[in-house]
Amino acid sequence: MWGCRSAGVRLKLLGLLQPCWLRTRCRTRVVVNLQRFSTSLASSPRPPWRVLFLGTDQFAVESLKLLTSNRSSSKKIVENLEVVTLSDDVPVRRFAQQNQLPLHSWPPEDVDGRFDVGVVVSFGVLLPERLIKKFPHGILNVHPSLLPRWRGPAPVFHTILHGDTMTAVSIIQIRPHRFDVGPILNQELHQVSKNCTAEELGAALATKGAHLLIDTLSTLSERIANKREQGQIGATFAPKINASMSWILWEEQTCDQIDRLYRAIGSRIPLRTTWMDSTVKLMDFVGKCYISLSDQRTTVIPGSVSFQKESNTLAVCCKDGWVGFRTVVLKKRLTAVDFYNGYLHQTLQRNTPGQTAEGLFVSRKGRTEAHQMRDNSPM
């Protein structure tokens, strides 16, 4: 294979080759080599590597970007780079096209003997064992969590949702049949900053992960020799996020939980509740509120809404306090003051003591919805 590569490079420099002729010739040589050295897949033990990259979304693009730019230095660790993506119009496909990287569709054909190592980042498809075996150094995965915590498709959402203060990026080797269970080659801790959203955390981990991937590839043989199996202790699963999580349960959820829910999903799926049988989307969350009630209600029950004039905020009572929103969508977008003047004001006036249902946001029970989301789907 080495012979084939250097011959290809030399001939290309001379400008003598048709690319398809080169490919045919290479394949023939590889077959011969594989037969001759059938006990081991002849691949260099050192970089630069021939890399096949599989990915889809913006999180994956960050890794692909660094691999792409690394090809052009004298100390490069990437020699050849080709890309597999799923058929849709996804960020990885656009990046590959803009940068003239050879593109394969899924499943890739013609992989035998052409790559040293694979890299898969947020691809969403289990790779079959027979494909993994075609890479002498295996297939690496960049996973944005402190594995074995948050295996599965939505680690960043769940990191925020559960209020983890520490996370990581992990570089693992892919195992067949199950997601995110392979041995850890490299792991770098990352402190989750206060108040950050899933988008912000995802972006920070994408950058960190890309650098950690390059670092891992530059010392790959040592990393593989020292790989660490994931234990079962502390293993958790991060299922896909779906829209049914966006219905707030005022009686059950605390200010903290609503805050985390908003930061986890709020920019993609608005938090929701019901108001007199209509769906209300709750936007522009401002966090926990400390309020003094100006109206005459004596008992405050979860779901109660209070308009805070000074801050132009709607405060809603939840399990352990009040949380504020600046905007709602009830058919159309309304600021807090518009909602108060147009809706809340009348219903509060109509209410007699002990009968406050019309001033209430009501939790919707039995929530089901099919809409599913992965962490890193286009942001």
Binding site for ligand NAG (CB under 6 A): 69-70, 72-73, 75-77, 194-195, 214, 218, 239, 242, 244-245, 286-287, 368-370, 372
Residue with Cβ nearer ligand NAG (197 or 351): 197
CB 83 within 8 A of CB 92: yes
State the nearest-atom distance from the C-beta of 117 to ligand NAG, in Å. 14
State the nearest-atom distance from the C-beta of 7 to ligand NAG, in Å. 25
Residue with Cβ nearer ligand NAG (29 or 158): 158
Please list, in sequence order, all residues whose beta carbon lies within 8 angstroms of the beta carbon of residue 228, skipping any fewer than 6 positions away: 183, 184
State the nearest-atom distance from the C-beta of 334 to ligand NAG, in Å. 21
State the nearest-atom distance from the C-beta of 66 to ligand NAG, in Å. 7
State the nearest-atom distance from the C-beta of 69 to ligand NAG, in Å. 5
Residue with Cβ nearer ligand NAG (70 or 273): 70
Q: Give the DSSP letter of residue 262.
A: H
Tally Cβ neighbours within 10 Å of residue 78.
24
Amino acid letter, 318 = C
State the nearest-atom distance from the C-beta of 124 to ligand NAG, in Å. 16
d(CA 258, CA 253): 6
Residue with Cβ nearer ligand NAG (192 or 348): 192
Residue with Cβ nearer ligand NAG (76 or 104): 76
Q: How far is CA 330 from the centre of its chain?
A: 30
Write out the two tokens for 335. Answer: 């600021």
Please list, in sequence order, all residues whose beta carbon lies within 8 angstroms of the beta carbon of residue 111, skipping any fewer than 6 positions away: 52, 131, 134
- The phi and psi torsions of 360 (rounded to 5 degrees) equal -115, 145
Beta bridge partners of 121: 55
State the nearest-atom distance from the C-beta of 287 to ligand NAG, in Å. 3
Q: Using alpha carbons only, what angle is made at residue 204 by residues 199 and 209, rounded to the nearest 5 degrees?
A: 120
**DSSP secondary structure of 309-346:** TTTTEEEEE-SSSEEEEEEEEESEEEEHHHHIIIIIHH
Residue with Cβ nearer ligand NAG (295 or 320): 320
State the nearest-atom distance from the C-beta of 286 to ligand NAG, in Å. 6
Residue with Cβ nearer ligand NAG (244 or 254): 244
Which single residue brings its beta carbon nearest to ligand NAG? 287
Q: Give the DSSP letter of residue 360.
A: B
d(CA 262, CA 195): 10
Residue with Cβ nearer ligand NAG (194 or 332): 194
